[in-house]
Amino acid sequence: MKGYLASHFFDIFGFEGTARLAERIRKECPWLELYVPQENGEINDKKNNDGDITALKIYEEDTKHLLASQVLIAYLDGVEIDAGVAGEVGIISGHLETLEALGRELGFRYSPKMIIGIYSDMRRAGTGDNHMYKNMYILGAIEKHGVVVESVDQVIEALNIFYDNYPV
């Protein structure tokens, strides 16, 4: 089974946090072949490959891995959901909407992919000034095609449940 980890990794905390999350997922879910865009030097090594990296190359390479994955793990924390992460959620949810419509036409239900959103900000449950707003469209897409969780433990649990129930 393949997975894709979407996160904001362009600063030291995002990069190191993404690396730690990927390491934990790989350790606890060895059955999952995890693609992490920041590890793809061909499109993300700005120091050594800056002249070769283009927007089109990034889009094509990441989308190839995204569509080949059964699970999208989307990191939602930050002041706003990272634009790239939101785009990746949009691609997968649109793909799943198309598959569901085709299934309805053909008379069956089949959901070969899942989205796991990680929203761990302590302000998620706050009210008034203590509330952290997240884009409801993105949250709705994730909720329709998966689950929003609050911790890495819950990510691992959701991955294992999906894997255990995946149609062979």
Strands of 33-35's sheet in order across: 33-35, 2-6, 71-75, 114-118, 146-149
Q: How confident is the model at residue 132, as a pLDDT?
A: 78
d(CA 89, CA 73) in angstroms, rounded, equals 9
The single-letter DSSP state of residue 8 is -
pLDDT tens digit string along 50-77? 778 888 999 999 999 999 999 999 999 9
Q: How many domains does the chain have?
A: 1
pLDDT at residue 152 in the model: 96
Residue 154 CA to residue 56 CA, distance in Å, equals 34
Segment 29-42 shows an average pLDDT of 93
Arithmetic mean of pLDDT over the chain: 90
Radius of gyration over every alpha carbon of the chain, rounded to an integer in angstroms? 16
For residue 115, what is the domain's CATH number?
3.40.50.450
Q: Is the pLDDT of residue 111 over 70?
A: no
Residue 18 has pLDDT above 90, yes or no: yes
Query: What is the reported pLDDT for 108?
Result: 76
Question: What is the extent of the structural domain holding 154?
Answer: 2-164
Summarize the confidence of residues 124-128 as an average pLDDT. Answer: 77
Is residue 94's pLDDT more than 80?
Answer: yes
